[in-house]
Amino acid sequence: MKFTVNSVEFARSLTPAYEVVVKNSKKEEDKPSNLITLEATSDKILVKAATNTVSVICEISDSVYGDLGYSCKDEGIVTTSVKNMMESLRSLPPSEVEVSEKKGEVFIVSKKNRKFKRSFATYDEKVKVMGMGKKVEQELTVDREIFLKGINRVFFALCDEESLYQYMCLVFEAEKNMARFSCGNGARFVIDEIEGKNILKTKGGIRMTVPKTVLPTIKKILSEVSDESISIKQIEKDDANHIPEQIVFSFSDMTLRMYGIEPFSTFPSISHIMTRDYSNHVYCSSTGWNYAANGIAMTKNDHMDKIHNSEVTIEPDDCQLIIKSCTKNDAVSPVTFDDTKTTIKGEAPWFRCNSAFLQELATCTSEDAELEVCFEDQSVIEGDDDPNAANKVGPVRVKFPDVSDEARDTIEKFIMFFAVSNQ
Amino acid sequence: MKQRIFVLEGNYRDRRAVLEKMKRSLKNFETFVFDRRNKLSFVISFITEISCFPTPRLVILREMPAVTARDDTARRAKCMKAFQEAIPKVPGNNIIVFNNLGLRSEAMLKKVRERGKVFKFPSSLKGEEARHRIMTRFKAQDREINLDAADFMVEGLKQSASEVNVDKLDMLVHKLMNYVGKKKTIRLADVREVCSQDEDFIVWDLFSQFDKKELCAALRGLQSYFSIEKEVPKRAIPLLNQMISRYKLVLMVKDAKERGLSEKEIKAEIGNIKKLTRSGKSQQIRKTVMMKGKDPVPQWSGGMVNSITEGWFTDPVKSYSFDNLLLIDYALRKMEIRIRSGCSIPEILMAFEFVAMVMCEKLTKIEILDVLESRQLLSLEEHYEYIK
């Protein structure tokens, strides 16, 4: 195998493979964790990289990377470390380089100054990318920037707790003119819903779960490519050939496949919370929440117990929400609400929740935005042991102001909902 | 299901049956399993939180969660206190299961009973009960097991303890059921086959063969024992220690019986010998008495004494004469010194076969035991004349 390419462009084209194997695989005893197989043909280089959870197949050619300057002298296949390859390319002065393989070693030589030379080992075993089932379960084409925007908006809310593994994923739902991204940690969830006429093409409703482990890789790769839209397919498992269910992203002559999505099928449906009819709807400014969040932060200083809850009570006469931390150090903060829009049922409805949710709520929005806080009075279930009693309360739902993008003709809705606590 | 909090204690099979029943009655539910990798505060937060979704949550605690404390006792106390406070606050659609956490505190169990149920299943059974459990399990499957096969299982599992571990018993029954397939009657030979790879069984069976003076079966037993794992020297020392301990005990019981002591008195007398602490790779014995809590640990437990006095299959006390037992002890000591001072694998195997011959009374002359001190154990020719 022997070819010449531009070192900078070649390194850029290897980024997806680098992201896939270096960030997602564990080192085995006898070989490094970052192997890729390069297959050089007359007009392109085919790169394969795979781990247990994600794989990528890229076609690197002049048609995709304009400044690549690919010229093949000898066709061939080689498996080597992508880390060595990337570090070698980056350590050379930007110029045309000659990449060749001889006697179990890859040589990279700068054509500008042939004294710049790098060499590293090859491996006999080729990278194997798992096959694909035949039946396409779900399929859509979505605007790349919209998809990336949605992931970035909810990324902070992904579950970190491994004992709640079924929540360690992002749920992507789509239907005509609407893409919805949601994730949560079992107690607090966020939803980013983007509506727009030309953001996606799909035949019916779509629901896919993307494991948390591969999301950084997807984010990185999607932010590097320049395609306008990406195609996403969910392929059914093929039991006969031992091929698991997988999600396939296709763009820029690149195919990114994800496996291990089965455990996330139990992620609960959130649509009923979006449409739930609450007794109390409170409209208030986000500025007031910032003071409350800072007050909560103060009470955490001397609070030895790791459980930190706060109570939120409505004082209808003063048109205020009173946020009070349930701790030794006291922090009471009023948040004024707009009584013209607000609807309240009962004398002084209240709820209690993890203080961290209220702090997050304050950080999720810009200054002086109007928040809609919907909740049920928690007193209705106090001392109630009925198994369905908890359903009477439901989570607290906070709707943030819609953000419209006139240039793209989209409207973005952001919702957070979180569980209340008896503690 | 109106009860929300459950405590399950005891053997695995019965606990699992309760959990399965719970799952069947819930139909749709989310399962969460917590253990020592989870922090106590997280677990308490989780169980007192009202789920965002209508699906009930089944939370199984299989170990005490992690919390900072000076020692295990303090850690446990902290967890128990937190659980007691949290139990009244568990919302209606959370079901909490404390699965085999060893909860004994009456205050805690009282709290649980107010909102749920405490299930306590046996974790060990007496011989008769164990035999009954085996019979019942086979009967439930419309099969039959021979009495001697059931006794063999019970005795093998009991070994040096006075009771049978129920989890081990259930596992053995499960293995046996899988092994025999559709066969309706299970015999002793089937049990022997299933147990042929189980180290505890092999050792127990080996001692039975020594007691019965069946040299061929004993040599076969030794072969099985050393064939389980390749590392012969690592396996040799534990077996040798078991042999030394057992025959010393037989010697003492025999002596006590000759003096006309009752079983109770024998137990009390032997129980007075305390175990000394051991440490380091070489298992050097220190001169301090080993303590369990505030009580000293006896060298031989009551169960071990029972295994000698109440054996169903053999009677070791009657099987050996005094001279025989002294010769065995002498041979074992010589072998211990020989193995610990270093010898090859064939030499170790040969030494064990040699001792097996002594135990089965095929070698009775003390002079022959000099061979164990020989620099080259493999050159045995000069000693052949002593062999019967």
The confidence band for B375, taking pLDDT boundaries of 50, 70 and 90, is low
Q: What are phi and psi of A78, to 5 degrees?
A: -145, 140
- How far is residue B381's CA from residue B359's CA, in Å, rounded to a whole number? 21
Contact A187 B4 (CB under 8 A): no
> Which site among B53, B83, B113 would you substitute to test the A interface, given the most A Cβ atoms closer than 10 Å to its Cβ?
B53
Specify the amino acid at residue A321.
Answer: L
Domains detected in chain B: 5-121 (3.40.50.300), 125-195 (1.10.8.60), 217-387 (no CATH)
Residue range A2-123, CATH number: 3.10.150.10
Give the strand pairing for B291-292 and B295-296: antiparallel
Relative to beta strand A246-251, strand A254-258 is antiparallel
Are A240 and A232 spatial neighbours (Cβ–Cβ below 8 Å)? Answer: no
Are A206 and A172 in contact by the 8 Å Cβ rule? The answer is yes
**Would the CB atoms of B91 and A422 count as touching at under 8 Å?**
yes
Which residues 163-182 of chain A have a CB within 8 Å of chain B? Answer: 163-164, 166
What are the tokens at A140? 């859509």
Phi, psi of A419 (to 5 degrees): -80, 150
Average pLDDT, chain A: 87
B residues 112-171 near A, CB within 8 Å?
115
Of A184, A189, A422, the CB nearest to B89: A422
Q: Pick from A102, A75, A72, A103: which is nearest to A10 by CA?
A: A72
* Secondary structure class of B346 (helix, strand, coil): helix
**Position B342: which residue type?**
G
**Which residues of chain B are within 8 Å of residue A268 when distances are taken between CB atoms?**
30, 52-53, 55
**What does A215-257 look like in DSSP terms, one character per residue?**
HHHHHHHHHH---SEEEEEEEPPBGGGTB--EEEEEETTEEEE
Strand boundaries in chain B, DSSP class E: 5-9, 30-34, 57-61, 94-99, 116-120, 124-125, 144-145, 164-165, 185-186, 276-279, 284-289, 291-292, 295-296
Q: Answer whether residue A415 shows pLDDT above 90.
A: yes
Q: How far apart are CA B338 and CA B355, in angstroms?
A: 12
Q: Which of A40-44, A211-215, B201-205 has the lowest mean pLDDT?
A: B201-205
- pLDDT for residue B318: 87
Q: Which residue has the tokens 């002065």?
A: A93
B33 to chain A, any CB pair closer than 8 A? The answer is yes
Contact A387 B56 (CB under 8 A): yes
The arithmetic mean of pLDDT across residues B63-91, rounded, is: 90
**Cβ neighbour number for residue B11 with a 10 Å cutoff:** 21
pLDDT for B303 beyond 90: no
CA distance linking residue B23 with residue B21, whole number of Å: 5
Is the confidence at residue B383, as pLDDT, over 60? no
Question: Chain B within 8 Å of A367 (Cβ-Cβ)?
Answer: no
Look-up of token digits 């009967």: B139
Residue with tokens 């989310």: B30
A164, A166, A417 member nearest B52 (Cβ): A417
Please report, for chain A, the start and end positions of each structural domain, with discontinuous segments joined by +. 2-123, 136-272, 276-418
Lowest-confidence pick of A351-360, B231-240, B279-288: B279-288
CB-based contact, A305 to chain B, within 8 Å: yes
All residues of chain B having their beta carbon less than 8 Å from the beta carbon of residue A375 are: none
Please say whether the beta carbons of A174 and A401 come within 8 A: no
Confidence grade of residue B388 (pLDDT, cut at 50, 70, 90): very low
How far is Cα B119 from Cα B329, in angstroms, rounded to an integer? Answer: 48
Burial of A2 (0-12, 13-18, 19+ CB in 10 A): middle
Tokens 């997050």, residue located: A360
A302 touches chain B (CB under 8 A): no
Sorted by sequence, the CB contacts under 8 Å of residue B103 that are 6+ apart come out as B7, B9, B80, B109, B112
Instruction: Look up the CATH architecture of domain A276-418.
Output: Roll (3.10)
Asked if the model's pLDDT at residue B309 lies above 90, the reply is: no
Q: In DSSP terms, which residues pair with A320 in a beta bridge?
A: A315, A336
Q: What's the residue count for chain B?
A: 388
Whether the model clears a pTM of 0.90, i.e. scores above it, the answer is no
**CB-CB under 8 Å, B1 with A187:** no
Whether pLDDT at A108 is above 90: yes
Higher pLDDT, residue B77 or B363: B77
Instruction: Give the best residue of A171, A376, A423 to mutate against chain B (max B CB count within 10 A).
Output: A423
Element (H, E) at B242: helix B232-258
Q: CA torsion A66→A69→A74→A75, rounded to 10°?
A: -10
Weakest mean pLDDT among A24-38, A395-409, B191-205, B351-365 = A24-38
Residue from the list B2, B39, B89 with its beta carbon closest to the beta carbon of A423: B89
**Which chain A positions have a beta carbon within 8 Å of B41's beta carbon?**
305-307
Look at residue A281 and give its three-state secondary structure. Answer: strand
Candidate from A123-127, B19-23, B154-158 with smallest mean pLDDT: B154-158
Report the gap between the CA of A191 and the closest CA in chain B (Å).
Answer: 14
From CA B274, how far away is CA B370, in angstroms rounded? Answer: 32
The CA distance from A139 to A142, in Å, is 10
CATH number of this structure's domain A136-272, picked from the four choices 3.10.150.10, 3.40.50.720, 3.90.1150.10, 1.20.210.10 = 3.10.150.10
Q: Which of B75, B79, B80, B76 is nearest to B107 (CA)?
A: B80
Nearest CA of chain A to the CA of B50: how many Å? 6
**Are A389 and B53 inside 8 Å of each other by CB?**
no
How many whole angstroms separate alpha carbon A117 and alpha carbon A92? 8
> Does residue B53 sit at the A interface (CB-CB below 8 Å)?
yes
Residue B83 CA to residue B77 CA, distance in Å, equals 10
**CA of A392: how far to CAs of A163, A312, B182, in Å?**
27, 18, 53
β-pair partners for B164:
B125
Q: Which amino acid is at A308?
A: H
- Tokens for A10? 């070649």
Would you state the structure tokens that stand for residue B341, as one six-digit string? Answer: 């001072």
Give the pLDDT band (50/70/90) at residue B387.
Answer: very low
Tokens read off for B378: 């493999």
Three-state DSSP class for residue A328 = coil
Q: For residue A71, list its beta bridge partners.
A: A4
Higher pLDDT, B257 or B379: B257
Place B308 in a pLDDT band, splitting at 50, 70 and 90: confident
**Minimal Cα distance from B92: which residue of A?**
A387
> Phi, psi at residue B296, to the nearest 5°?
-70, 145
Please state, in angstroms and rounded to a whole number, the distance separating the CA atoms of residues A311 and A292.
11
Q: B108-167, pLDDT tens digit by residue?
A: 999 899 889 999 999 999 888 999 999 999 999 888 898 888 988 888 887 667 788 999
Segment A315-342, tens digit of pLDDT: 888 888 888 888 777 888 888 888 888 8
Q: Which helix (H) or strand (E) holds B202?
A: helix B199-211
Task: For residue A190, give the nearest of A223, A229, A164, A156 by alpha carbon.
Answer: A156
Q: What average pLDDT score do residues A99-107 get?
A: 90
Q: For A421, which of B35, B48, B56 is closest by C-beta distance?
A: B48
Q: What band does B386 get if pLDDT is binned at 50, 70 and 90?
A: very low
CA distance B80 to B110: 13
- Give the integer Cα–Cα distance in Å for A208 and A173: 6
In angstroms, the CA A258 to CA A51 distance is 9
How much is the average pLDDT of B244-271?
Answer: 89
Bridge pairing between strands A117-123 and A76-81: antiparallel
Same CATH fold assignment for domains A136-272 and A276-418: yes
For residue A226, how far is the Cα from the chain centroid? 19
Complex-level ipTM: 0.83
Instruction: Indicate the SS3 state at residue B247.
Output: helix
Q: What is the pLDDT of residues B361-372, one digit of tens each?
A: 888 887 777 766
∠ Cα B240 B242 B248 (to 5°): 100
Over 70: is that where the pLDDT of B282 sits? no
